[in-house]
Structure 1
Amino acid sequence: MKKILGLILAVGLMLGALPARAEYPDKAITCIVPFAPGGAADITVRMVADYLSKEIGQPLVIVNKGGGSGIPGLNFGLKARPDGYTVLGGSIGNAFVATYFLGAPAYDMDKIAFVGAYMPHDRLLLTRPDKPYKTWQELVEYARTHPGEVAIGHGASQEGLEVVKAAGIKEGVSFNQVMYKSGGPATADLLGDHIDVCDLGTGTAGFQADRKST
């Protein structure tokens, strides 16, 4: 039983207490990802879910609830019955940050139990190789000479958006910030040259490509 509980808790966030029954789990577990498919949260949670399904003998069914920097997905999960058969996976903390910056109602942290983590989450800025900037400082210099032209996409991370925004203010430049439902559509728009730079996280295709090239 301890082994099963540990594996389930590794998904990230458990809603309510696990049922104290020897046969748990005896049915599929719903895993809510508060981001659209194709981003870091979706990809990594699916990898963990695939492993956990084999270990516990029951499937983890992924349900994507993207948009709103993770807030709608988290709210959806918190309304689920607290019976141990609904979990939330991914960058859940992003929704807590977003509530502050977006002016949404704060969460009652006494009603949420954090039970584990399964990976660190780094972020990076990516651009197309045909762009005239390859470093942060080159991007800043370009933005200075081309005010209002540089569009930076964010893979549903309000944290990433605020960090880039603050860094731009420090450098005395401004960027056009574009928020996406996940890193998947953000990457697609970067490759399609609809945005100039993309803020992505660990687990996305862009992150893996960057690691292979260094």
Structure 2
Amino acid sequence: MSKLSPSLKALINAPFSRPGPLPAPAHAKELFQSIAQDASKKNLSPRSWLAISTATTFSLNAPDALPILHGVASAQQPKSDVRAAEFMREVGLKCISFNGIPRSINCLNAFHASLPKSLTAQLATTPSRQSTPENVTDGLARGRRLWDSVYQPFEDKLYEKLGLAHPDLPVFILNHNYAGLLSDPPQSERGPSPASAGCTPRWSPSRA
């Protein structure tokens, strides 16, 4: 097996290439609080600023900032720590489409490890995206609706253009990214968390 040259190793590990996780900014709490306050002044829902802040933190590969963000979000609404955590990890899961699987796995694992056990014990543990013969057709239709809503009026032209690059490219993107990941499963397929049974439904990034 060939080895990397010293110059290539230096390039990969150069500070500007950011090969590993970034530390949380020195004033992360103040930054997130400022974002939350600004969103409130502009009558934006808590989900809106939390979704954007979570996705940005995942994209920057700064897992140490996630518990800080969660603390700020939980302080905005009483008894919302479980819902905020579930919402943030849902956003993080969807970031797979933009950041790739390894970075999303690392951030999700780090976020879970940063939460107190009393909180993680209340998080939902039932998968909500398991395909079955009964739900696969509805799932594909849900993904297509999301695709159309994003790319109208060019949804069909884009699908055809992607197919020129590789015939399976649009199939994979639509069936797995949009249908399987980015579109929200129906509430009936989401297992309730121990803390949310009979309470307000879990936050949904697509409804932010």
TM-score tier (shorter): under 0.3
The structure showing larger relative contact order (alpha-carbon pairs under 8 Å, at least 6 residues apart) is: 1
- Structure richer in strand, relative to its length: 1
* TM-score of the superposed pair, with normalisation by structure 1: 0.26
